[in-house]
Amino acid sequence: QVQLVESGGGLVQAGGSLRLSCAASGRTFSSYAMGWFRQAPGKERELVTAITRSAGSIYYTDSVKGRFTISRDNAKNTGYLQMNNLKPEDTAVYYCAAGRYGLGYTKAAYDYWGQGTQVTVSS
């Protein structure tokens, strides 16, 4: 079992920045790929970015490329999502997730989920 706790969400103006953290406990964090998903009201939960166990491969959805950066510190059992130049359309609940099998592009690829943290971007 892996327990994930997100933090760092909040209200920010368009163009601002936030840094989300995902603290993992339980099994060894470095054994899992990590993904950040988001879900806006009335929409499906979508993958924003993902990173492999050793950070050798990273994926970004097109809408966040050049603005968001995923990273992880396996020694601290923590993952991060740096979000710059935020836009109102980035408003959503952001979830971190851990998966046992490489870089996952769908929700089904992830075994453990955090409770989510709200990100609201005002225009």
Q: What is the pLDDT of residues 86-104, one digit of tens each?
A: 999 999 999 999 999 888 9
Mean pLDDT for the chain overall: 96
Q: Is 3 helix (H, G, I), strand (E, B) or coil?
A: strand
| Confidence band, pLDDT 50/70/90 cuts, at residue 16 | very high
What integer pLDDT is reported at residue 28 of this predicted model? Answer: 83
Q: What is the pLDDT of residues 44-102, one digit of tens each?
A: 999 999 999 998 899 999 999 999 999 999 999 999 999 999 999 999 999 999 999 88
How far are the Cα atoms of 39, 44, 115 from residue 32, in angstroms, in the given order? 22, 24, 18
Q: Is 102 helix (H, G, I), strand (E, B) or coil?
A: coil
Q: Is the pLDDT of residue 27 over 80?
A: no
* Residue 10 · residue 93 · CB < 8 Å: no
